[in-house]
Structure 1
């Protein structure tokens, strides 16, 4: 499977157009390095098994191109100096270090992110993409997060939304091409059973657009992955813009799913190399350090895995 609107400006969006950015291999945290000033690739920290498994075309190129729908905090965002940062940014740098190549983020709209791999423009996806059986028909996923969906509402929860079924008959905004829209539409019969109209799902291009709609009262709620929801509730207007609905029956969020790195099935060798690199950063503690930096430890995977996503009930 984006920034709090209080911190996101037009300048941030224009700045995103300056991608691609090459991630420095020596550091696990912090900003991306512009391509023109990037340091030469070092293999000093490379994991032998992961580096050996990487297909030759990526070794020769020295680069893996990463499609990413930027911004999508706390996975991809800009810091106060307009440098790219976030969980996916740091994770990509750490994986690149183990593989001995650069991982280069390319800004890509989420609804065209899979076609960008199919056309050869990009090689992998790191963009908070949920690992689902439908997507597994096209992609293999190296999973790195496990979290549910949360309901984000205006501060004070003026419409008294306490469960997902309280969304029946209301307009709810989600980002276009995400699985949340399908999940909300699946509540149609339950809404009818309680005598309510179905949820009116509005799909918008960016998560920032979704949050703006909620702030403006054009939508009653935003249904989004728990990590971005928690970030928005904490940071937007210094925590004075949004609340997260706390449903006692779903303390970890609704319908927990895996989030992973998407790779075309034809690139099985690349998937294997990424899985080995993920195992390496879990083993040496780098993975947990990155999660702690962004307060996402609750959503960790204990061991590296591939295609763990199952049908969402």
Structure 2
């Protein structure tokens, strides 16, 4: 895969904003916390200079996230923890502004960006060619998906093909939903029984449905699958179907920070900040802290789905 550095012109003027669309009213500002210890060597002047004047003047980048979505983000009491809060802090230090993450239902994060409620999406969102029609992605990780089943794998699931004739769960608006819909058509065409898809609102709902026996499995991003299997029921509730030939998961894709397509200045500022974190080793340290080092990118890139072709 071509992972060459993608340059986004910092001189591009901001275009007109997309039309306002309805979005969830469930977002809430995070609780005030004591300042965390600094993660980086400080501001990167090139990245900070690339910020739009509006962001620099406000001193904050507002990020939308569906919370919780471990290991990307979850709450310990009122404190946000996980990959994205740590990365948000580090990016903010490089840019000289605060990156503030607030809750927004995942299926409405793009409309909330279009409505100018937020500046970026930082919600473990997979980069797809379709989403790139609306968003630019500054890529955080490169990972595929895995299938989670009950401990002991009672149905003998080894891959998507084994889901025919069963009910499965998936979060609404996730990339895995499209994969399941394609598989359901394949099941029907091959006469292997109906694949019934339960589309559920939050990231936790599929594992609740699996534990309750309402479904036999759910596919999810590999980092989320690994965290779920490790932590649910102290590791006794579920297991992950793994493929030794694909340690990063099946059909790996980039997962990144989303910005509106026309907001090229902010996109470039984030790319430069992430590249500075990679060169400083802070990015790798953050991934290792959350056991996600397998999914690291070698350099800061924009729109990896387009690069993959």
Shorter-normalised TM-score: what interval? Answer: 0.7 to 0.9
Q: How many Å separate the matches in 2 of 1:46 and 1:155?
A: 47
Q: TM-score, normalised by structure 2?
A: 0.86
Q: How many Å separate the matches in 1 of 2:39 and 2:201?
A: 30
Residue 27 of structure 1: which of 38, 42, 65 is its match?
Answer: 38
Q: How many Å separate the matches in 2 of 1:312 and 1:133?
A: 9
Following superposition, the deviation at residue 25 of structure 1 comes to 6.9
Q: How many Å separate the matches in 2 of 1:101 and 1:217?
A: 46
Q: How many residues align?
A: 283
Q: How many Å separate the matches in 2 of 1:73 and 1:86?
A: 7
8 Å Cα contact 1:46-1:100 kept in structure 2: yes
Following superposition, the deviation at residue 189 of structure 1 comes to 4.5
> CA-to-partner distance for each residue in 1:224-254, whole Å, 9 max, x for gaps?
0000100010011110011001234544322
Quickly say closer, same or farther: Cα 1:311–1:152, change in 2 above 3 A. farther
8 Å Cα contact 2:64-2:101 kept in structure 1: yes
2:12 corresponds in structure 1 to: none
1:234 corresponds in structure 2 to: 230
1:35 corresponds in structure 2 to: none
The answer to whether structure 1 residue 278 and structure 2 residue 274 are counterparts is yes
Following superposition, the deviation at residue 26 of structure 1 comes to 4.8
Bigger relative contact order, structure 1 or 2 (CA pairs below 8 A, ≥6 apart): 2
8 Å Cα contact 1:291-1:300 kept in structure 2: yes
2:14 corresponds in structure 1 to: none
Q: How many Å separate the matches in 2 of 1:261 and 1:17?
A: 18
1:34 corresponds in structure 2 to: none
1:256 corresponds in structure 2 to: 252
The answer to whether structure 1 residue 292 and structure 2 residue 302 are counterparts is no
Residue 45 of structure 1: which of 38, 42, 59 is its match?
Answer: 42
2:6 corresponds in structure 1 to: none
8 Å Cα contact 1:150-1:225 kept in structure 2: yes
What is the SS of the residue equivalent to 2:286? helix
The answer to whether structure 1 residue 177 and structure 2 residue 173 are counterparts is yes
When structure 1 is superposed on structure 2, of 120-129 and 191-200 the one drifting more is: 191-200
Quickly say closer, same or farther: Cα 1:249–1:242, change in 2 above 3 A. same
Q: TM-score, normalised by structure 1?
A: 0.85
Q: How many Å separate the matches in 2 of 1:141 and 1:112?
A: 17
1:6 corresponds in structure 2 to: none
The answer to whether structure 1 residue 117 and structure 2 residue 113 are counterparts is yes
The answer to whether structure 1 residue 57 and structure 2 residue 25 are counterparts is no
Q: How many Å separate the matches in 1 of 2:164 and 2:174?
A: 19
Q: Which ranges in structure 2 are unaligned for 5 or more consecutive residues? A: 1-25
8 Å Cα contact 1:172-1:201 kept in structure 2: yes
Quickly say closer, same or farther: Cα 1:257–1:307, change in 2 above 3 A. same
1:1-313 to 2 correspondences below 5 Å: 19-21=29-31, 24=35, 26-28=37-39, 45-79=42-76, 81-192=77-188, 194-248=190-244, 250-310=246-306
Quickly say closer, same or farther: Cα 1:194–1:28, change in 2 above 3 A. farther
